[in-house]
Amino acid sequence: MTAGLLPRPAIELLCAGSELLKGQLNTHVPRISLLLAGRGLALSREATLPDDRAGLAREIRSALDRSDALIVSGGLGPTFDDVTREAAADALGLGLRFRPAILGRIKARFKRLGLRMPAENRRQAFVLSGAEVLVNKGGTAPGQLLTLPPGNGSGSRRIRTLVLLPGPFRELAPILEAQVLPRLKKRYAPRSVTERLSLHLAGIPESAADEKLSNLVATAGPGLSFTILSYPGQVDFHAYAIAKTSRQARAVLGRVRRKALAAVGRHVLWEGEAPLEAEVGRALTARRLTLAAAESCTGGMLASRLTDIPGASAFFLGGVTTYADALKKDLLRVRPKTLRRHGAVSRECCREMAEGIRRRTGCSLGLSVTGIAGPAGGTRSKPVGLVYIGVAGPGSKTTVHELRLSGDRGFIRTRATTRALQLLLESAARRPR
């Protein structure tokens, strides 16, 4: 172990929900992992189980025997298949107690929404005996936190923690961040400090990034861990150091950063915790640049991601979705001759779209996207996945980038949107303040 670094406690995640085993994408694991890592905590194991009371009880009992803490998400709703409360009670040999105050909050929530509370919601007011109620401001299912002393029916000599959280991430995350993580940090890592390094890569697949970083990742151990996450068109590399002091942790990450940049530096687009669209906003605002977008195949996805950022009005003037050729001509002044000779999916059309939106809005940078997202519409010369992205700015000629993407319609549109934002960030970074 590197000097000064500290080991992490064992924390497990159990996702309850039959739908998670029938095709619904479970994004909880990477998102919860990142939240834990920020507090010097980490997942040691994850399991996904159907809504089966006996099966959940066995897993809860087993997880608490081997770990410091268990977080269970899902199964706290009011319907017949929400059995997490009962499974936890079975696992620990505890009763469930009715809490009138919880029912009062649930009734008040329905009243505010102008709805009648179904009788089934009364189930959500039952809490494990001895558990602390975790208030859920975003829904009707409160969380629960139960502290288990050493022994307590098992051979464990540790204080263990059982946390039950609602399934929807928009409800789970605020409870986890505000009410659970501070307790876990204080209980299991009170004298540690966590520092994080985040590098965001473009133009390299996850497998290639993993290969280039393999020697660095091999240095992982207690107190130092790494994560590589892949998104459409982007790879994120995270390093976490847990030490007794910030100075020790930062010193370790300084060495990690130097080695990471030596391996993949030319692919690093930005560093830090901000998502891509927020980094774009920061760069544009710092250089006092404004932006407008003209979208075709992405259908407004660019504008949506940019306006997800608080304060986007400081740099984003707006956008148009010109799906039909007629709108490309009328709104963006794309020349009819261009559309006849080259078509809507072409470098020429993309260039005129970027220049057109810049002229119409008076923005500093005009961004355009046009392509064939599929599944139909492709030809031999213009296959599905062909996308053009244009950036028009003052004092320089418009640049147009060609992409050849694969995947389904949703993936192509998402990948095109991400690449457009990346190109915008690169363009903004090149311009003087």
Mean pLDDT, residues 117-130: 96
pLDDT at 4: 54
Is a pLDDT exceeding 80 seen at residue 59?
yes
In order of their start, the domains of the chain are: 11-188 (3.40.980.10), 193-271 (3.30.70.2860), 279-430 (3.90.950.20)
Confidence label for 7 from pLDDT (cuts 50, 70 and 90): low
List, for residues 274-315, the tens digit of each pLDDT value: 999 999 999 999 999 999 999 999 999 999 999 999 999 999
**Per-residue pLDDT for 154 more than 90?**
no
Residue count of the chain:
433
| Tokens standing for residue 45 | 């194991």
- φ, ψ of residue 17 to 5 degrees: the values are 160, 115
Q: What percent of the chain has a predicted confidence (pLDDT) above 70?
A: 96
Q: From residue 34, give the alpha-carbon distance in Å to each of 40, 273, 298.
A: 10, 11, 29
Confidence at 1, pLDDT banded by 50, 70, 90: very low
Q: What is the pLDDT of residues 26-38, one digit of tens each?
A: 889 988 988 998 8
Residue type, 18: S
Q: What does the pLDDT read at residue 41? A: 86
Q: Is the dihedral angle over the CA atoms 408, 411, 416, 419 positive or is it negative?
A: negative
69 exposure class (CB count in 10 Å sphere: 0-12, 13-18, 19+): buried
Under 8 Å CB-to-CB from 106, ≥6 apart: which residues?
117, 121, 124, 125, 140
Tokens, residue 230: 């892949």
Q: Is the pLDDT of residue 176 over 80?
A: yes
Task: Using the predicted structure, report yes or no on whether residue 111 has a pLDDT greater than 60.
Answer: yes
pLDDT class of 433 with cuts at 50, 70, 90: low
| Average pLDDT over the chain, rounded to an integer | 93
HSE (side-chain half, CA atoms, 13 Å) at 324: 4
Beta bridge partners of 399: 391
